[in-house]
Amino acid sequence: MKAILLAGGVSLLIALLGTPVAIRILAARGYGQIIRDDGPTSHHTKRGTPTMGGVVIIVAAVLGYVAAHLFTWRLPSASGALVLLLMVGLGLVGFLDDYLKVSRQRSLGLRAKTKLAGQTSVAVIFGILALQFPDNRGVTPGSPFISFIRDIKIEWLELGSIAFVVWVLFLIAATSNGVNLTDGLDGLATGASVMVFAAYTLICVWQFNQACFNQPTAKCYEVRDPYDLAVVAFAVTAACFGFLWWNASPAKIIMGDTGALALGGGVAAFAIVTRTELLLIAIGGLFLIEVASVMLQTGFFKFTRWRTGTPRRIFRMAPIHHHFELKGWNEVTIVIRFWIICGICVAGAIGIFYAEWVAGT
């Protein structure tokens, strides 16, 4: 437990104290947020707010994790290192995207194909490595079985190596873009991420206490490195919490694609390595709502244009948080209410996770 608390404490301090330093550096270089002209007019006041703040979250989480291992004098685990590798890799893709936006002073950074290629490359590397590094029981960070609370060991749900990598690619693309879409209001994605990674901290601690290598029973969890995953999860939780101090409305800094892609990838990574892939629907419920609103908006727009010749929309603007902005809701009100929705989703997911253990199914 000491390593978990130490990782969180160091990460929190670095994020709290390092973010204002990053704000000054980014502001001095003119690395401010570029606002789309077709977005809500209220967002024009955010123009010039320092972006790429996700760098602080990533650095704080990594240093917190390293500090915990130096203090306990233990080597990092394969699972923990892979989660951080994915976050750093996707964060780098987001950083390049953000840098091109601010350097060229336009709302478009990397070309869509280039950005997708970067995300795909990082996700594929993670997927391949996740089936490597078996421990002394033969358990690898990832599993070829699709999972809900634990692996669903049904023959037709067992994936081959290629199918597993495709499944991983889908999960990472869905969550990284989900967090990216959610990051449209001050503090919204950051606060939601605090809750989601805190949930994974609890899940990992519980899995460690009930791990098959500790007490092999019918209810035990066959997960590699659950304790070290809890260290990573709490480090990311604390990093987001510290960053939120400066990202809350009115935001002094924005995480940008650097943070959104990294955090989204981290969410997917935890779902994979904790064997809770389908539970991600509940844990990441808010992110799912945001993605679904964009898909519904786009699909309905194209369908009505094809069917009637006159395109129509379901929402005033997507993602859905912009719909409520255009309805006149205050930004802080939207953020708090969406945090409540996220909290309900996360609490529901934890309840499902615990209920499955109690029921012994």
Binding-site sequence positions for Mg(2+): 180, 257
HSE of 146, CA atoms in CB hemisphere, 13 A: 14
| Binding-site residue ranges | 180, 257
In one-letter notation, the amino acid at residue 344 is I
CB 206, CB 355: distance < 8 Å: no
- Residue 123's Cα: distance from chain center in Å? 14
Residues 6+ positions from 352 with CB-CB distance below 8 Å: 149, 279, 282
Provide the residue count of the chain.
Answer: 361
At position 7, the amino acid (one-letter code) is: A
Q: At what angle do helices 256-273 and 161-182 cross, to 10 degrees?
A: 140
Local structure of 11: helix, strand or coil: helix
CA–CA gap between residue 143 and residue 288 (Å, rounded): 23
Enclosing H/E stretch for 336 = helix 331-359
HSE-CB at 259 with a 13 A cutoff on CA atoms is 34
What residues are paired with 211 via a beta bridge? 221
